[in-house]
Amino acid sequence: MQTGSTAATVASYNQISDELAKRVPKLHGNRTIKYRVAGSYNPKSKKYSLLTALHIPATDVIYDPGIDDWVNIALIERILPNGQPKFIDLWITDQTNNVVVINAKKNLDQQIYRYFELCNYNVSNPNRDTNAPKLIERIDDVANYMAEHELSERRRAAMAVVMEWSDEAVIEYWQAIDPTTRVTLKASDGKGLDKRYFAYLKARLMEKAETNPEAFVEQQAGNFLPAEDVANVIARARNMRLFILNSKVGEFTWPDGKILFKYKRGFGVKPYTLLKDFFVRDPQGRADFEIVRSEVETK
C-alpha cells in the first residue's frame, strides 16, 4: 500500500448527508466483508484471475440524495500536519487472490468499506453511475454458496437422466449426431456391441450432462421425447391407421394423403425406426407426434 497527497483539504471530502450515511451501516463485531476484482471469478475453476495489478482510485464523485447534490468522497489514510489528506493508494493483486478483505475491528478497514459501498467503481452498488469503470464487486458468500449448491444439484439431476437411459437410448442419442454410430459400435467379431467403445460414448454423455446441466436437461425435455413412449404410440397409431406407410416411395402419409414424413429408401432401412427418430428429434416431428398422440389417447 502506497500513499500520496493533494492540495485539497480534508474537509473537501466525505461530507455526505445522514440519509446517505444510513445506507452503509457500520460493521460490528468480527464481521468481514470481501471485495474482488469485478468479473475476475471463474465459477468452474473456483479461482480468481487477474493479468495485472488493479489500482482503486482514492477519490470519486457521487450523488447524495440527502442534499440533492454531488459530493466528493475519498480514501484518506490520515491527516498531514498542514491539514491536507494523505490518500490510501490501494492496489489489488494476485498476491491477495484479487480480493480485499475488510475487517470490522480495523478503523481503516471501516473507512475502506464505506468508500467501497458508496463509490461508483463498485458493481454491487445499486446507485452507482453506470458510466464509471467496473473495478470491484462485493462478494456475497451465502449467495455464492447457494449458487454452487444449485449448480451441483442441476449436475446431479442431469447425470441422473443419463443413468436412467437404457443402452439403446444412449445409442439413439449418438446415432442422431453421427449416423455411423451403430456400425462403429459393432464388436470386432460382428456379434453384439464393442463394450469399450460403448463405455466411451456413455462417458462422453455423462460429461455433456455435467458440463452444461441446464442445457442438457432442457434438451432432453424439449428436444428428445422418451423413445420407448414414442414407439408405443406409433404401434397403436399404426393399428388405428392414423398414418399410412408407402414403402415403395419411402414416405408416410396422413389419412388425407398429405405427406407426414419422407425417408431415403435403402437396404436395411427400417421405416418405423426412422419415423420414431423423426418424432423424437425433429421440431416438426415433435409437433406431428403430439397430433398423433392426441388422436391415440382420444380414441
pLDDT given at position 58: 93
pLDDT given at position 283: 67
Q: Which position has the higher pLDDT, 46 or 10?
A: 10
Q: Which position has the higher pLDDT, 166 or 188?
A: 166
Q: Which position has the higher pLDDT, 6 or 220?
A: 220
∠ CA(272), CA(277), CA(278), 5° rounding? 95
pLDDT band at 276 (very low <50, low <70, confident <90, very high): confident
Q: Among the listed ranges 68-77, 97-106, 110-119, 258-267, which one has the minimum average pLDDT value?
A: 97-106
Percent of the chain with pLDDT over 70: 82
Mean pLDDT over residues 195-206, rounded? 88
Residue ranges covered by each domain of the chain: 2-139, 144-222, 225-299
pLDDT band at 43 (very low <50, low <70, confident <90, very high): low
pLDDT given at position 212: 79
pLDDT given at position 140: 67
Mean pLDDT over residues 103-114, rounded? 87
Q: Among the listed ranges 28-42, 146-160, 199-213, 234-248, which one has the minimum average pLDDT value?
A: 146-160
pLDDT tens for each residue of 240-269: 999 999 999 999 999 999 999 998 887 778
State the cell numbers at 154: 442441476
What's CA 196's distance to the chain center, in Å?
33
pLDDT given at position 5: 40
pLDDT band at 216 (very low <50, low <70, confident <90, very high): confident
pLDDT tens for each residue of 53-83: 788 999 999 999 999 999 999 999 888 888 8
In a 3-state reduction of DSSP, which class is residue 100? strand
pLDDT band at 2 (very low <50, low <70, confident <90, very high): very low
Amino acid letter at 42?
A: N
Closest CA to 44 of 205, 152, 158, 159: 152
Helix intervals (H) in the chain: 18-21, 107-118, 141-164, 167-177, 181-185, 195-211, 213-222, 227-239, 271-281, 283-298
pLDDT band at 23 (very low <50, low <70, confident <90, very high): confident
How many whole angstroms separate alpha carbon 17 and alpha carbon 27?
Answer: 19
pLDDT given at position 279: 83
pLDDT given at position 252: 95
Average pLDDT, the chain: 81
Q: What is the pTM of this model?
A: 0.46
